[in-house]
């Protein structure tokens, strides 16, 4: 065997694993085991109504132990539990004549720790002022964030000097430190200001209308929120408005802009990238934004971080929180049939999907009645947003993504593993070889599964044939699957195979370019490469 062929064999297991697994992008607020949570000032810290803040924790695996401050619980896969947290940031006060706004630092953060992966959604609620956010795990946080432009909200930012009245004061940046001491810089063309934070501290600072702040940078990872405690909505009523910002990247990305309830009139996008901050109106004719920064959708009462095409997922959990609850689903036009909610297909006519102008994507709003919904796709990736209504005020967030690996069998939390061993051995030794990897010799017991596996196998690996988990019974002479109770009804034999009952007792599959992954009966002592397989771990759908 040539050195090139030997190298191909050695790299083959890694290649197959990469083909099967599509990890969530680091910018996604996906699963994790360590979170730092903060609740912004809601309306006003002196408001007579006490906050009703809490986090929703959803477990991906059985026997998941979760600790929220001093509260502990053990959850099973798919189980969601609510933990009440009576913390809220204090009012941000600075001297009215200060030309360089200072930071207000506090220890009002909450740690959420688990022994296995979870997803976390925070709910801030006070006197019907409600907002939600999906919390980014600490290992997905960044050291650089772009600051959005201040949206034009009537009455909310009339004068930067009015900071004693929340509803007429400026927006705020809330910077959340994690488990290490840190130095954070907020800056722009006009200058910078710094703050030193101890572990798990939080700092607040103004984002004044007349400032040209561009970015937040830190020596170590932080979370950054863009917030207004009491933004005017309608009828002189103000409510909390905030968004958890995604870490900055320098790559150009396409952000898909869904029409919320088919209404573009009050919707704009807050764009921020290196050297630029701007607010752009939305249009049905061009429902996407290309930027090397971040994009936040704004409409009265709602700041919604948008999901880029590069950060799409395949499975999401959506918790119903408001009086009415919706899932906004964005998917390619030719992939709408694969959308599932729980164990049922979405089943929507194409007329119920709205095209996103300038893209091959469509969007639809789905009313949710269940308390918890698993929304997943059989074969493709998509974006899903949660949007709720409470007293005619919108709130919401990108739905927590559980996976970026589509699978027709369900919502994947641990992808399947397909592995061609680099060492040719007998059929019996192949069974043992797979078992040492906590895998089994692949049983291709249905035509759909056979096609699925074969679509993942490289043709140029140097391997000509592999053992599969099928053999002939020495008692009855009938073929059977090693790891399946399914009858051998669907087969893919090569011409002339199988032979007589006295012929080959085990089955190999050809990987030759001239063959269509056909099967042949072989002497079980013949040396071939084992095709090992481990099933995916799926999230319970109900």
Most confident range, picked from 40-44, 391-395, 427-431: 427-431
Which residues, including other chains, have CB under 8 Å from residue 488's CB and lie 6 or more apart? 445, 470, 478, 479, 480, 481
| Average per-residue pLDDT for the chain | 89
For 390-402, what is the mean pLDDT? 90
Is residue 491 within 8 A of residue 500, CB to CB? The reply is no
Q: Burial, 398: exposed, middle or buried (Cβ in 10 Å; 0-12, 13-18, 19+)?
A: buried
> Which position has the token pair 């013949």?
526
- Give the pLDDT band (50/70/90) at residue 322: confident
Residue of 470 and 165 predicted with greater confidence: 470
- ∠ CA 264-160-127 to the nearest 5 degrees? 60
Contact between 146 and 248 under an 8 Å Cβ cutoff? The reply is yes
Mean pLDDT of 120-134: 94
Average pLDDT on 111-119 reads 98
pLDDT at 232 over 90: no
Q: Would you place residue 8 in the very low, low, confident or very high pLDDT band (cuts 50, 70, 90)? A: very low
pLDDT tens figures, 446-503? 999 999 999 989 876 789 999 999 999 999 999 999 987 788 999 999 999 999 999 9
| Cα–Cα distances in angstroms (integers) from residue 60 to residues 116, 335, 460, 505, in the given order | 8, 26, 36, 41
Q: What angle do CA 67, 69, 72 make, to 5 degrees?
A: 35
Distance separating alpha carbons of residues 423 and 110, to the nearest angstrom: 51
* Residue found by looking up tokens 């051998």 in the block: 488
What is the token pair recorded at 311? 């950060």
| CB-count burial class (<10 Å; 0-12, 13-18, 19+) for 436 | exposed
User: What was the pLDDT predicted at 98?
Assistant: 47
Query: Above 80 in pLDDT, residue 342?
Result: yes
Residue 354, phi then psi, degrees to nearest 5: -105, 130
154, pLDDT greater than 80: no
Least confident of 23-27, 347-351, 514-518: 23-27
Which one is predicted more confidently, 528 or 166? 528
Of 142, 114, 132, 112, nearest to 37 by C-alpha is 112
What's the pLDDT tens digit per position in 405-427?
999 999 999 999 999 998 999 99
CB atoms within 10 A of CB 18: 10
pLDDT band at 23 (very low <50, low <70, confident <90, very high): low
pLDDT attached to residue 2: 46
Answer yes or no: is pLDDT of 56 > 80. yes
Least confident of 18-32, 276-290, 301-315, 367-381: 18-32
Tell me: pLDDT of 7 over 50: no
Short-list 176, 167, 175, CA closest to 229? 167
Report the candidate in 282, 199, 214 with the shortest Cα–Cα distance to residue 248.
214
Identify whether 498 is preceded by a cis peptide bond (ω within 30 of 0): yes
The fraction of the chain above a pLDDT of 90, given in percent, is: 71
What pLDDT does residue 15 have?
A: 45
State both tokens at 460: 């140029």
Q: Which two tokens stand for residue 537?
A: 């771990």
pLDDT value, residue 490 = 93
pLDDT in tens, 76-85: 999 999 999 9
Q: Scan for tokens 């701007």, then name that residue.
A: 278
Q: Write down all domains in the chain, each with its CATH number in brackets.
A: 3-21+415-538 (3.10.100.10), 32-413 (no CATH)
Report the pLDDT value the prediction gives residue 94, as an integer from 0 to 100: 60
- What is 89-111 written as a DSSP string? PPPP---TT-SS---EEE---EE
Output the six-digit token pair for 456. Answer: 């993942």
Contacting residues for 340 by C-beta, under 8 A, at least 6 apart: 346, 375, 376, 377, 378
Q: Which of 80-89, 99-108, 464-473, 527-536 has the lowest mean pLDDT?
A: 99-108
How far is residue 45's CA from residue 485's CA, in Å, rounded to a whole number? Answer: 63
Over 60: is that where the pLDDT of 1 sits?
Answer: no
Q: Are 150 and 206 in contact (CB under 8 A)?
A: no
- From the DSSP assignment, how many helices (H) and strands (E) are in the chain? 3, 40
Does residue 100 register a pLDDT over 50?
no
What pLDDT was estimated at residue 76?
A: 98
pLDDT at 376: 98
Lowest-pLDDT range, 92-106, 123-137, 225-239, 340-354? Answer: 92-106
- Rounded to whole angstroms, the Cα distance separating 399 from 305 reads 11
Q: Please report the beta strands in 497-536, taking only residues with DSSP state E, as ranges in sequence order.
A: 506-510, 519-522, 529-534
Confidence label for 28 from pLDDT (cuts 50, 70 and 90): low
Quick one: pLDDT at residue 538?
97
| pLDDT band for position 237 (cuts 50, 70, 90) | confident
pLDDT of residue 454: 94
Closest by alpha carbon to 245, among 91, 29, 57?
Answer: 29
Closest C-alpha to 171, from 202, 193, 143, 149: 149
């Amino acid at each position: 065997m040539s050195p090139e062929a030997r190298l191909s064999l050695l790299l083959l297991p890694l290649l197959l694993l990469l083909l099967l697994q599509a990890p969530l992008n680091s910018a996604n607020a996906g699963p994790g085991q360590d979170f730092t949570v903060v609740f912004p000032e809601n309306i006003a810290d002196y408001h007579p109504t006490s906050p009703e803040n809490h986090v929703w924790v959803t477990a991906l695996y059985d026997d998941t132990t979760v600790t929220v401050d001093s509260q502990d619980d053990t959850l099973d896969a798919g189980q969601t539990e609510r933990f009440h947290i009576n913390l809220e940031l204090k009012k941000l006060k600075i001297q009215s004549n200060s030309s360089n706004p200072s930071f207000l630092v506090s220890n009002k953060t909450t740690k959420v720790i688990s022994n296995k992966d979870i997803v976390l959604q925070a709910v801030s609620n006070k006197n019907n002022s409600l907002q939600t956010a999906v919390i980014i795990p600490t290992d997905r946080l960044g050291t650089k964030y772009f600051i959005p432009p201040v949206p034009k909200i009537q009455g909310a930012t009339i004068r930067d000097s009015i900071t004693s009245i929340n509803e007429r004061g400026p927006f705020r940046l809330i910077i959340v430190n994690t488990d290490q001491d840190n130095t954070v810089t907020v800056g722009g063309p006009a200058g910078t200001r710094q703050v030193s934070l101890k572990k798990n501290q939080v700092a607040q600072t103004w984002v004044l209308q007349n400032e040209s702040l561009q970015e937040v940078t830190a020596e170590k990872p932080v979370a950054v929120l863009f917030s207004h405690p009491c933004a005017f909505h309608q009828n002189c009523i103000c409510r909390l408005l905030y968004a958890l910002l995604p870490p900055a990247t320098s790559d150009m990305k396409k952000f898909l802009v869904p029409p919320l309830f088919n209404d573009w009139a009050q919707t704009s996008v807050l764009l921020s990238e290196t050297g630029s901050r701007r607010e752009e109106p939305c249009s049905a004719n061009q429902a996407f934004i290309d930027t090397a920064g971040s994009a936040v959708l704004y409409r009265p009462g709602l700041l919604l971080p948008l999901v880029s095409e590069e950060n799409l997922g395949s499975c999401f959990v959506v918790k119903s929180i408001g009086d009415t609850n919706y899932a906004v689903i964005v998917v390619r036009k030719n992939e709408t049939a694969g959308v599932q909610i729980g164990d049922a297909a979405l089943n929507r006519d194409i007329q119920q999907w709205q095209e996103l102008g300038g893209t091959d994507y469509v969007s639809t709003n789905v009313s949710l009645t269940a308390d918890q919904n698993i929304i997943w796709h059989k074969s493709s990736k998509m974006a899903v947003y949660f949007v709720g209504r409470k007293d005619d005020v919108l709130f919401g967030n990108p739905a927590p993504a559980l996976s970026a690996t589509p699978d027709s069998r369900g919502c994947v939390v641990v992808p399947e593993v397909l592995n061609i061993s680099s060492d040719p051995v007998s059929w019996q030794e192949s069974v043992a070889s797979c078992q040492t990897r906590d895998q089994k010799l692949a049983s291709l017991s249905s035509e759909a599964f056979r096609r699925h596996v074969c679509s993942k196998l490289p043709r140029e690996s140097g391997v000509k044939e592999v053992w599969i988990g099928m053999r002939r019974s020495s008692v009855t002479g009938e073929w059977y699957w090693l790891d399946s109770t399914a009858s051998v009804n669907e087969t893919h034999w090569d011409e002339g195979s199988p032979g007589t009952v006295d012929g080959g007792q085990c089955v190999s599959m050809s990987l030759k370019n001239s063959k269509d992954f056909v099967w042949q009966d072989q002497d079980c002592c013949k040396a071939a490469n084992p095709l090992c397989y481990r099933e995916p771990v799926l999230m319970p759908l109900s």
